[in-house]
Amino acid sequence: MDRGSSLGIMVALGGILAGLLIDGGNVGQILQPTAALIVFGGTLGSVMLQFPLEVVLRSFKELKTVFLFKEPSVEAMIGQIVEFAKKARKEGIVALDRDLPSVEDPFLKKTLMLAVDGTQPAELRDNMEIEMGNQTEQAERVIQVFDAAGGFAPTIGIIGAILGLIQVMQHLNNIDEVGRGIAVAFVATVYGVAVANIGLLPIAGKLRLRRRQADLLREMTLEGVLGILEGMNPRVLQTKLGGYLAEPAHKAAAGKEKRAGAGAAEMAQAGAARP
């Protein structure tokens, strides 16, 4: 579970509800089925009008990844690519054909498959960059769905408030009904603004961040396989791919290598000092 997403929405909703209760209100004041129907139904209809149905359905499937997501390990991917580079250097790149069934990442598996089949580096890069572009485009369309919905929801909430005020105007002879009706009418505006700023727009931002992370991982994977295909030294390849690590992890890896090198140097000096 993505703790940041779960805690974030709980903190946001908790803060709003706490402010409502401290101010003397109650939750029942904002539970209005009519307002919810107007906001959610109107927003969904607008999104379906703007985007193809399959894109809208895919966005619903991607919604669960905001809260349930396993972040891929860049370090593990680099380690796997380096091991492939070592094997290809010793036995030839065709030897990697036996390892293809064990590769879980579909992009790495397809890239390795093309490399094993004898695809030239330039052609391999062109083919996989086209696929990277297609995957990025598909992910961006899902993000655009949530961006658009976040723009529609507040406006539709205002429409709901206006519709409620129209109903209120028909009961001006009863001042108690007027006050209650105005309160109910503005709940639609609260729904629209809250759904957009607590849900839809942050979800779009989270998905956009993950899309960028996936793009970087695929870019690193492509560079790694091209390095294998070009016969790059595994240690040089590891150093090159290490540039894709996050800054803290990269520094930690560099620190480990430095400490290991220093330890080896001390052992060598000690051995040289012995008679």
Which of 147-151, 171-175, 265-269 shows the highest mean pLDDT?
A: 147-151
Q: What is the reported pLDDT for 82?
A: 92
- Burial bucket for residue 146 (CB in 10 Å: 0-12, 13-18, 19+): buried
- Res. 247: pLDDT tops 60: no
**How many CB atoms are located within 10 Å of the residue 116 CB?**
21
- Give the residue from 213, 206, 211, 214 showing the smallest Cα distance to 108: 214
Q: At residue 154, does pLDDT exceed 90?
A: yes
pLDDT tens-digit map of 85-134:
999 888 888 988 888 888 888 999 999 999 998 889 899 999 999 999 99
What is the CA 53 to chain-centroid distance, rounded?
22
The half-sphere exposure of 95 on its side-chain side, counting CA atoms within 13 A, is 11
Q: What is the pLDDT of residues 163-196, one digit of tens each?
A: 888 877 777 777 666 766 677 778 889 999 999 9
> pTM for this structure?
0.77
Q: Cβ(190)–Cβ(38) under 8 Å?
A: no
Q: What is the mean pLDDT of residues 33-54?
A: 92
- φ, ψ at 177 (rounded to 5°): -65, -35
Residue 128's pLDDT is 93
Helices (H), the chain: 3-22, 33-50, 53-63, 74-91, 106-116, 121-169, 175-194, 201-229, 234-242, 247-273
